[in-house]
Structure formats: structure tokens, C-alpha cells
Structure 1
Amino acid sequence: SNQVYQSPASLYKIQGKSAKMVCSHSISGYDRVLWYKQSNYRELVYLGYLNVKTGYPEAGFDIEGDANAGGTSTLTIKQLTPNSSAVYYSQLTHVDSPDTVPQ
């Protein structure tokens, strides 16, 4: 069955350190992974995306890996702040749907 996995389920780190989380999936034809975080105010904040094997992160983040089925997309938060405490989401799309990437 088609699955999307995100790990770790929870993460505790010291302020000022970096943190990594990973998204992987098994859905063929999907080769773009977008990352968001949901703040305490419930809005989704866009963090960047991995387009096949090229990352386009927002400032303060790194995104790298392989967005194809069987690959992993790694989001790195470079320097943790109190604002980093959030729920993080990955979203799958594919290169043929450019409208899914926030401008």
C-alpha cells in the first residue's frame, strides 16, 4: 500500500543545537516533498521543499535527500529556538504540478 512515513515521532533538543527529521514514502510518480511547521497559532509555516534531489529551503533550514519513492527527504533545523517547538509536516506532490509550491 502507498505510505508516507515521518520520523522521529517526537524530538527533544537543546536550544541552539540543530535537529533533523526525515520523510520517506513509497508512492511512485511522486518526487517532490514540501515541509511545513504548525505553530501554536495553528497556521502552517512553509519551510521549503525537495524537488527530486535538489533542496530549496527557507532561511535557517536545510533540505536534502531523494524525494522519489524509496528515498528520504531530510529537514534540518540549523539552530533551534523556542519558536522551533512545533508540529512538522511533510507533503508529497510531483513535479508536474507546479501550482503546489508556495510562491
Structure 2
Amino acid sequence: MSFASDDRVRDAIHNFNTDGFDSLYPKYRGGRPRTFTLAERREIKKIAKSKPTEHDLPFSTWSLTKLADFLVAEGVVGGISHESLRIMLREEGVSFQRLRPCPMW
């Protein structure tokens, strides 16, 4: 028993007759498609790894909010939230480590 409707079973048989065993392995992937292109992701990564002072900005380190605002202002992306930026940078292997001064003994 497959607990499938008659129409679904007919579609599966039709697909098998057309494509053979390849029809058993669908080509689709779940989830939402990526929002940003590979070129945009590379540009975001390049800017994130640079220093803000290289872009004539008055601060020395990036925050997610500042980086997201800068990317939109420069026209790299149409819009991006700091959360999706955080996820993208994590996927690309970029992390911002907070620097702590060395303690004076």
C-alpha cells in the first residue's frame, strides 16, 4: 500500500515509462533558491574581508548592520538583512572575531 491517489500512481507509471529509472530520482531540490548570484556573493565576501577604512569610512571594523548598509548603498545588492548576511558569510568561511586588547600585567 502506498496511500497515494490514483492520479499520483498513474503519473508515476507514466514518468517511469517515459524516463525509466531516472524518474525515481527527481531533479528538484527542496527549499528556496539562492537569492544572490555567485558574482554578488564573491563581491560581498571581498568587501567583508576588506577594512572599512579602505572604502573611506570613519570606522575601523565592520558590523553586520554597517556592512549590509554599505552593500546596499554601493549597489552591490538591492537589499539584504544582517541575518542573511551573517548566514552567507558563515557559508563562505568569513567570520568577524572581536579583538580584545592584551592585558597589561
Structure with more contact order per residue of length (Cα contacts < 8 Å, sep ≥ 6): 1
Q: For this structure pair, what is the TM-score category when the shorter chain's length is used for normalisation?
A: under 0.3
| TM-score (normalizing by structure 2) | 0.23
Structure number, greater radius of gyration: 2
| TM-score (normalizing by structure 1) | 0.23
Higher strand share: 1
Higher helix share: 2
